[in-house]
Amino acid sequence: MFTDDDIALAEEVIALAREKSVTLITAESCTGGLIAAVLTEIPGASDVFVGGQVSYANEAKQAWLGVEPTLLSTHGAVSEPVAMAMAKGAVVQACAALGYNAQVLSVAVTGIAGPGGGSEEKPVGTVHIAALHYPIGSVMHEKCAFSGDRRQIRLDTTRAALGMLRQRLSAVS
């Protein structure tokens, strides 16, 4: 499923996280765990990748990641505020459940992979990706417009999320 380039990007992310002593966590909706899957293709990823949360339904986003119902009703699941809340919720849950008192970097994705579910305002391929670096407080967000079939959109989202992780990790001093 993953290309050699995907594996190389995941290896780079794992190596950077290891070098910078940053723990990684994912919060995934439209990718359904693909980001976690490609990270765990890398031997020794467990040194820095502790796990992730697949929160496909809105109820899961609320219950497992603490996304406020008002964010979902006001902005919709596929939005910058929800992606940011998912990234924050992943960090909060990881720190609370695992007792981390170190640097944690989360990446969250929410989007419309299709073939249905799109609208004029949010067509199929609309994806929001957010990353939160705790305790640094650095937050990144990107709105993407991918094309292709469902599989392609999910893979492109995974690649973009890994790219965001690499970008954020490269900026850590």
Helices and strands in the chain, H and E counts: 6, 5
24-47 mean pLDDT: 98
Q: In the structure, what pLDDT confidence band is assigned to residue 88 with cuts at 50, 70 and 90?
A: very high
**Model confidence band, residue 106 (pLDDT cutoffs 50, 70, 90):** very high
Question: Phi then psi for 129, rounded to 5 degrees?
Answer: -125, 135
In CATH, which superfamily holds the domain spanning 4-171?
A: CinA-like (3.90.950.20)
Residue with tokens 């991918």: 146
pLDDT band at 22 (very low <50, low <70, confident <90, very high): very high
Residue 144 pLDDT exceeds 80 = yes
Read off the tokens for 96: 């609370």
Contact (CB, 8 A) for 95 and 116: no
Q: Mean of the pLDDT values across residues 118-140?
A: 93
Identify which has the larger pLDDT, 38 or 102.
Answer: 38
Residue 100's pLDDT band (cuts 50, 70, 90) = low
Cβ(105)–Cβ(168) under 8 Å? Answer: yes
Q: Which amino acid is at 19?
A: E
Confidence of residue 101 (pLDDT cuts 50, 70, 90): low
